[in-house]
Amino acid sequence: MDRSLAGRVVIGRSFDPAAPFAKALGLARAGFSLFARRRRLRLGLLAALLAAAALAGGWLLLRNSSLVSVERVHVSGVHGPEAAEIEAALGRAARQMSTLDVRTGALAAAVAPYRVVRELRATASFPHGLHIDVVEQLPVAALTVAGGRTAVAADGVVLGPALLSSSLPLLKQGQSSAAALPVGRQVQGSSLLASLTLLGAAPAPLARAVARVYTGPQGVTAAMRNGLVVYFGNATRPHAKWLSLARVLADPSSAGAVYVDVRVPGRPAAGFAGSGPPEAGTTGSSPSTAATPTSPADPTTAAELAAGLTSALGLSPGEQATPIEESSTRAAPAEAAPGAPAQAGAATQAGASGGSESASAAGAEAPATAPAAGR
């Protein structure tokens, strides 16, 4: 018996490569013939196609028609000297749209020249209303660069000299040039960004009272317009530090202090004329000249500031962040002029001298967090 491959017999039918295509073609012919015989099915499909086209065309016509055109524009969230111009630009752009076709890109392009605008949120109110919420990056400081000044936002974005005002506190950036800070760019430097973060968290009444901010031996330091010096240390827990300062200033027993130390916001300390500043928690370069108050603080203004802060922060009259204890140590910072009074007064030391704010004191500090009042 021959067992070679040549001697084997192939059993079964041979494979036809064209068979699957023939079957598919047959199925297609059968379906087409069935469709041709079913007149109602053919007419129904045609009607569905025509209805879809009509609906699409009608939607396009309605979306751009006067029936849904934007006629009432309400803009919120804008402040400052450019507010009227921003509202006008948004109104002109919005009235070119409809409530069914709100183009946020076109709205953003309309206010692109205004660096104070960070973000836009548009909400249509059918059939003719449009509400636009503007998220701003307001200037918090006037940055001195190469002899010139420019407004800067809390996140470090340069807003340009057009937004400068006399109420902005001064900041100084060393060894830079005006060309290195174009409008829209962000400033560099950890100490500078820390100062801007603190200013951005300041309640409006206190922000207007700040004359300048610098980095000194006690870290980030704010010199108030009446000569009071406030030591913040760093930018951690900025809202808690401003809240601690506000509560200290609202205490009537703190009149006459020349500095307030809120580096540990749960244990604020105050100093009076007599000896040196509190122990330095951080290192840095202090300014060459110190702010000198021109006149004593107005008691009426101080009382109004304290009352306003107490109300804005939701405090009852006389409420404090922590119990205040009388301290025998009276200290005056090197940055303040001797005998300079504090605006609304600063509290006496809270149970410890400035040098006691160490890591152990930080662990024992009481929570004092609260949102800052809107600027």
pLDDT digits (tens, 9 = 90+) for 324-354: 433 434 434 444 433 344 444 333 333 333 3
The DSSP code sequence of 319-351 is: --SS-----S-----TTSPTTPPPTT--PPPSS
Of 170-179, 196-205, 319-328, the poorest mean pLDDT is in 319-328
Average pLDDT (277-289) is: 48
The model's confidence at residue 309, banded by pLDDT at 50, 70 and 90, is low
CA distances from 61 to 58, 70, 111 (A): 5, 15, 28
Indicate the burial class of 195 (C-beta count within 10 angstroms; 0-12, 13-18, 19 or more).
buried
d(CA 109, CA 95): 14
How far is Cα of residue 187 from the mean position of the Cα atoms in its chain?
Answer: 16
Contact criterion met (CB below 8 Å) for 232 and 219: yes
Structural domains present in the chain = 67-136 (3.10.20), 138-186 (no CATH), 189-364 (no CATH)
Question: Could you report the per-residue pLDDT of 133-180, keeping only the tens digit for each?
Answer: 999 988 999 998 877 899 999 999 999 888 898 999 999 875 444 445
Average pLDDT (206-212) is: 94
Question: Could you report the per-residue pLDDT of 77-127, keeping only the tens digit for each?
Answer: 998 788 999 999 999 999 999 999 999 999 999 999 888 898 999 999 989
